[in-house]
Amino acid sequence: MKRIYMDNAATTRITEPVLEAMLPYLTNVYGNPSSVHAFGREARKAVETARRQVAAAINAQPSEIYFTGCGTEADNWALRGAAYAKNAKGKHIITTQIEHHAILHTAEQLEKEGFEVTYLPVDEHGSVDLEALKRAIRPDTAIVSIMAANNEIGTIQPIREAAAIAKEHGALFHTDAVQAIGCEKIDVKDMKIDLLSLSGHKFHGPKGVGVLYVRSGVRLERLIQGGAQERTQRGGTENLASIVGMGKAIEIAVSNMEERNAYIASLRDRLINGLLERIPETRLNGHPTNRLSGNANVSVRYIEGESLLLSLDMKGIAASSGSACTSGSLDPSHVLLAIGLSHEIAHGSMRFSLNEENTIEEVDYTIDTMVEVVERLRAMSPLYAR
C-alpha cells in the first residue's frame, strides 16, 4: 500500500543532507564541547557553526542564539525567564487563546504562582485582535507572547505589529516561531522581536533540539541550572549531533523559500478546493489566504475526527484530527473552540500538513479517499440521517 505523510506540522523527516551533516558527530567526533583538548575543540567548532547558521536564518547575532532541548523548553524558558527576571516590569503576562500548550500550560502554571495572565481572543479566522492587545497591555506587563503561526489552523499572526505595541509599552515580545520558520520570512532585528522559539524537528532537523533567540541586552532567569554551557545560561552537555543537524536543516529551510512555498501552497489549495467542492457540509478552518503554505484544516460535519483519522490511516494516509482524543482527552481543540466552532463541528476536524515532499498525485488520492471514507462514515451516522 502507498503511504502518504501529511502530518508535517507534527514532525518532519530528517533529510539526507541533514543526516549526512550529523553522522560524523554520532561516530568519530564525540568530544565534549566544553573540553579544552582537540576532541573537545572539534565539537565546539561544530556547535558554533550551527549557532551561526541559526543566527543567519533569522538575522540575529550568533551570541543571541541559545540551544535548548526542544521547542517546548524554549517556550517555557521565554515565559518563565521573563516573568522571573529581576528587572521584570511586573506580574502581568499577555498571550493568546490559541498558543501551543508549551505556552498555555506554562502560563497557567504561572497564574498558580501569582502571575496574572490575559489570554487574547482571536477572530473567526484565528487572527489575533491587535486592538484587544492595545487594551490589555499595562505598565506592569512583563511579556507579550504571540505565536508567529498557528500549528493547528495555520493562521499567520501580525507579529511585527504586536511587537511594536509591546515595545511601545516597554514589555518584552516573544514569539513561538516553531511553525513559521522556513515558511514565512523572519528577521528578528527588523521585526523588533526580543525572544523567539524554534524546534529542529519541524523543519527536517532532528527531534529533541530547539533554540531560544534572546536579543542582546535582554536578561532572563535561567530555566535549567547546571554547568557553564550556553554562556552559563542553559546547563547541560550539548546535544552535539542534533545541534549540527538543526544548523544544516535551518540553512536549507530558509533557502529557496519562495519557490518551495509556492509549490507547497499550490498543493494545499488543490487539496482544500477538492475537499470543499466534493464533500458537502465541509468548511475550511483558519485564515482563507493568510495561512501557512502547507496547512489545510477542514471540519466535516456529522463525522468524528478520530474515526476519519483511523479510516485514512487504513488507506495509508497520515494526517491529524482536531480533537485531542489520542492524548487521552476528549475535549475538542482549544484552537477550534477559540475561532468559534461548536464542539460538534470541532470534533469533525482534520489537519493535513504538507511539505515539498508531497505530490499532486498524493493530494488527488487523498481527496478521492476522503470522499469515499466520509460517504461511508456518514452513511452510518444517525446524525447525518436526520
Ligand X SMILES: *Cc1c(COP(=O)(O)O)cnc(C)c1O
**Residue 366 and residue 298 in contact, taking contact as beta carbons nearer than 8 Å:** no
Can you tell me the distance from the alpha carbon of 317 to that of 308, in angstroms, rounded to the nearest whole number?
11
Asked if residue 106 binds ligand X (CB under 6 A), the reply is no
Asked if residue 100 binds ligand X (CB under 6 A), the reply is yes
Of 51, 174, 202, 291, the residue at the interface with ligand X (CB under 6 A) is 202
The edge-to-edge listing of strands for the beta sheet with 116-120 is 65-68, 210-214, 195-199, 172-176, 141-145, 92-96, 116-120
Q: How far is CA 308 from the centre of its chain?
A: 24
Active site residue 70: no
Q: How far is CA 108 from the centre of its chain?
A: 19
The DSSP output letter for 214 is: E
Asked if residue 196 binds ligand X (CB under 6 A), the reply is no
Q: Which residue is nearest to ligand X (CB)?
A: 71
Taking alpha carbons only, the member of 180, 115, 172 closest to residue 147 is 180
Can you tell me the distance from the alpha carbon of 159 to that of 184, in angstroms, rounded to the nearest whole number?
11
Which cell is 120 given? 487574547
Q: How far is the CB of 207 from ligand X (least distance, A)?
A: 7
Site size with ligand X, rule: CB under 6 A: 14
Catalytic residue among 276, 324, 325, 337: 325
Asked if residue 335 binds ligand X (CB under 6 A), the reply is no
Among the candidate windows 81-89, 123-131, 172-180, 338-346, which touches ligand X by CB under 6 A?
172-180
Asked if residue 70 binds ligand X (CB under 6 A), the reply is yes
Among the candidate windows 41-49, 54-62, 70-78, 236-244, which touches ligand X by CB under 6 A?
70-78
Binding to ligand X, residues 359-378 (CB under 6 A)? none
Asked if residue 151 binds ligand X (CB under 6 A), the reply is yes
Q: How far is the CB of 205 from ligand X (least distance, A)?
A: 10
Give CA torsion, residues 262, 99, 339, 134, to 10 deg.
Answer: -100
Applying CB under 6 A, which residues contact ligand X?
A: 70-72, 75, 100, 102, 147, 151, 176, 178-179, 199, 202, 210
**Residues classed as catalytic:** 325
